Chain A
Amino acid sequence: MIHFILIQNRQGKTRLSKWYTPYEDVEKRKLSHEIHKIVNSRETKFTNFVEFRTHRIVYRRYAGLFFSVCVDPTDNELFCLEAIHLFVEVLDAYFGNVCELDLVFNFYKVYAIIDEVFLAGELMEPSKHVILQRMEFLDNLP
């Protein structure tokens, strides 16, 4: 199960965070900070997996943004990596060559997309097509 999803830039600013496990606000800030420190210091050819406390962080860097998810150690890491990629592809297709600013100004849309991809810490929709169709439909609602 995914415990949280973080989108952070290289400077450590959290652009988006989604928590499926309840943490206190202080703890959330601490986690974001620690995770940024860990993933930012890793070289590109390193694995996309880091053991973190009792969990595992699966992260992937796209341009200046780190997409990190925290999962149970029993989860399939490659599966998580692929799920991150699916999410990013959806973002890319939705915004059309997505950049950091898109996420800043349209954060509520990004949340909507996350909610179409993941729910309750699990992957919900594996098809990029379906998600994009759905988003388009929702945007056109009154």
Chain B
Amino acid sequence: MSSKLRDLIKTVRSCKTAAEERSQIAKESALIRTAMKEEDLESRQRNVAKLLYIHMLGYPTQFGQMECLKLIVSPSYADKRIGYLGLMLLLDEKQEVLLLATNCIRGDIMNSNQFIVGVSLCAFGNICSTAMARDISPEIEKVISHSNPYIRKKAALCAIRVLRKVPDLTENYIPKIKALLSERNHAVILTALTLIIEICEMDSTQIIHFKKMVPQLVRILKSLTSSGYLPEHDIGGVTDPFLQVKILRLLRILGQNDPEASDAMNDILAQVSTNTDSTKNVGNAILYECVQTIMTIESENGLKVMAINILGRFLLNRDNNIRYVALNTLSRVVNTDIQAVQRHRNTIVECLKDPDVSIRCRALDLIYSLVTESNIRVLVRELLNFLLIADAQFKSELVAKLCIVTEKYAPNKRWQIDTILRVMSIAGNFIPDEVPSNLIQLISSTPELSSYAVQKLYLALKQDITQQPLTQVGLWCIGEYGDLLVADKSQLPKDEDGLSLNVSEQAVIDIIDLIFRHATTTQATRQYSLTSLAKLSSRFSQSSLQRIKTMIDNYKQNINLELQQRACEYSTLFDFDKKASILDRMPPIEKQEESPHIGNKNIPTQTPPQQHYQQQQQQPQQQSSQFGSILDGLDSPTQSSANSGNNNNNNNKQGGNAMSLLEDIFGSAPTPTSNGNMNNNNNMNNMNNNMNNNYAMGGMGMNNNNNNSMGGMMNNNNNNNNNNNNNNNNNKSQASALLDIMGDLQLTPTPQQPQSQSQQALSPTNQTSVLQPVPQPLTFLVYQKHGLNISYECSKPQPNNLSLTNINMVITNTGSSPITNFSLQAAVPKYLKIQLLAPSSTVIPPNNSGEVTQVSKVLNSQQGQKPILLRLKLDFQINGQPFSDVPDTPLPSLF
């Protein structure tokens, strides 16, 4: 015979170590198991109780589940009581064992002993599963009209559980609920109200069934508020606040969008909100609910004013709980009555300073929605103050929201620049990725403020160079507007010291030097610094040039490839006469639209120096008609040569001399696939233009990985390209000097490109067959959704090399509205290499009236063993609504 439960608890509590406790529990569990095996009826109850204790301590007790089931089938109430308790603790609805209890629970619910009905209903209400709910619902429907209120209230709540599991059964309960409301027993009314609320919240079409109850509810509420002291239901001087709250909540649901029902409630709501004692929590719970009801239903304006005033009182309450619910309610009503909420703006702002994080959280939420053009200066100042002291958990959200409201409501650009700068200097490391580039864009597109901005940034950098985004923007601006910084001192602080701060070229270079050497500076920032220096070389006087050169030279041996490469490029550039216009000021950056290329999104802010070049390249493109001929002559269908062409444009501006030089170079280094690719020439040139745009817009993200391979590839091409060898020989001598520079300045194509190209370059014999027309490409429809159809026209361009597949993706639109901003990206498993060119357009005309094509080449390294499998990433807009999808598009195996 085992010991008593009490003794077990005492023993366990007296254990000094966890190990001792474990061994005690193990011993006890073993005893219990033995007793169970021996079917020891006497101690079964006690053993289950002990098991429950063991379970609470967190030890395994699965072996006791059957024992609970045995207890609940026992006829004795005492057995059932502990059995059901065990059932509720040891099992939940997910366990299959529970199904075994279904019949027993059903029997117990219909038992004549009210206590047995009580415990079984209780277990059912707490743990029943969907299957069980369906099975036992008829019994619940019966006992919900039981003569005993004790059972009715339990049945009403069990009904909630049933309906949560099986909503279709709602109809069965609605007729029964009405009777419950005419009860005198408060618990029954309370549970019936809970049930109605649950039904209405689950399915708003059911509300109609309860509309007729409004007068009845009003009557109950009135009797509660006007009744005197009822000891049985009194809580803190208020008669049954729980019931009052529930009634108010139901009235809110019934009165919403229903002027007639709302009208019936007006009086009682006014009565509740004036008569309820607001000194205690109970009273405030009622007022809180009442205010929410008033604000939600179609109540009279006077009542609404009263409700808002109550919230105002709440806001000034010393009790934090009350202020919390006030803020909570205000954020719910802010959409219906923003003026009323604005009145409490100052108090809400005060709440930001509260030490309690819950309150700050609520207040913050509310403040964002209060910002308008008229108050943005005040509110943003407060938010900035809060940002200074905010915990890390708030900062990123706060910063993001600050940037959004600033962009949305900024009264002028200068203020916007100031604010973003301030945000960056306070919490630079928390800002979202796109903010620095947006700021650069803003500064560059507002020439009248560039001098102002660069001086501000210079001052900010003098104070703090540890915030990377700020430093990066600062470096970009100093590089870009360094001359303005030195020339114009209007914004530098005179009034503080009475002296105008003198910014010398040396001081500017000093600060860049400091950034270079600072321990917290990231590599990306160092890249900005290098580019900034390079630009300054053309803005600053000769005397500074030497120092800039020395600094850049220091990086020629840097361990970081990117830095090393940039340093080499720039120092070579210094020897080159025509550098000036390469380093010219950039044209204003257009606000970026969603770019279809991957690189843009992934690393949008890392390398604007490169963006700078891209932009410079883009600029002369406007005059590129002149260069069509060059491009044609150069015959450059791939991206790398597209870039080359682009660079031609860029340099051409400087005069014929450089142009002819470059022409020679690029004539000497076209890519292998271009051989004799005349047929497609026009088409390809279009594509090149597209690509140039894409790259200039935002392709810079990709550069880090590829510069090196690109440089290598150019050389590679140079050597391997049989057909152009003659050309090569002629120009090699001139080309070699510049090849390195240009190879690196041209920022690179997609990552896949170099690989697939060099692959082709290594098998020159096949090159002629690239152009052999493929008579009948196979076509597969791979995607069909939202009217967007994509089919692949697959062909094997090289009969003796089946691993190469050309896939011409044909995209059409069967929908009635055009698809815009279309972008298609593709990913492949490791054994495939893919080269994906840009789509012929980003707009697909509706009703199948036109098609967009996108060419890709896939090289299957395991041809014949594994199929070609493309995962596409599609982004597009229909009527301005964005869609995106990531379908897998396998080709028939072993194609």
Contact = CB atoms under 8 A, between A and B. Distances in A.
Nearest to A80: B285
> Interface of chain B, helix or strand or loop or mixed?
helix
A129 to B, nearest CB: 5
A134 B150 contact: yes
Contacts of B320: 45-47
Interface string A114-142: 01000110111111011000100010011
A20 B126 contact: yes
Contacts of A138: 81, 115
Given A49-B324, A105-B6, A124-B191, A76 B288 contact: yes
Interface size class of B (residues with CB under 8 A): 35 or more
A111 interface: yes
Interface string B100-120: 000000000000000100010
Interface of A: 14, 16-17, 19-20, 22, 29, 42-43, 45-51, 76-79, 81-83, 85-86, 104-105, 107-108, 111-112, 115, 119-120, 122-127, 129-130, 134, 138, 141-142
Given A119-B125, A127-B187, A22 B92 contact: yes
B285 A78 contact: yes
A78 B249 CA distance: 13
A108 B85 contact: yes
Contacts of A107: 52-53, 56
B358 A127 contact: no
A122 B115 contact: no
24 contacts: A14-B56, A16-B56, A20-B126, A47-B323, A49-B358, A79-B241, A81-B281, A82-B235, A82-B285, A83-B242, A104-B13, A105-B9, A107-B56, A111-B85, A115-B126, A119-B121, A119-B126, A120-B125, A124-B187, A125-B187, A126-B243, A129-B231, A129-B232, A141-B78
A115 B789 CA distance: 59
Contacts of B58: 29
Contacts of B750: none
A115 B122 contact: yes
B9 A127 contact: no
A141 B119 CA distance: 13
Interface in B308-348: 320-321, 323-325, 328
Given A45-B356, A79-B245, A79-B289, 19 more contacts: A14-B56, A16-B56, A47-B321, A49-B321, A51-B361, A76-B245, A78-B288, A79-B241, A115-B119, A119-B157, A119-B158, A123-B194, A124-B157, A124-B190, A125-B187, A126-B187, A126-B233, A130-B187, A134-B150
Nearest to A17: B56
Interface of A is mostly: mixed
B63 interface: no
A127 to B, nearest CB: 5
A105 B289 CA distance: 39
B154 interface: yes
Nearest to A101: B13
B77, B125, B328, most chain A CB atoms within 10 A: B125
Contacts of A17: 56
Nearest to B156: A124
B242 to A, nearest CB: 4
Contacts of B125: 119-120
A132 B407 CA distance: 61
B359 interface: yes
B85 A119 contact: no
B115 A82 contact: no
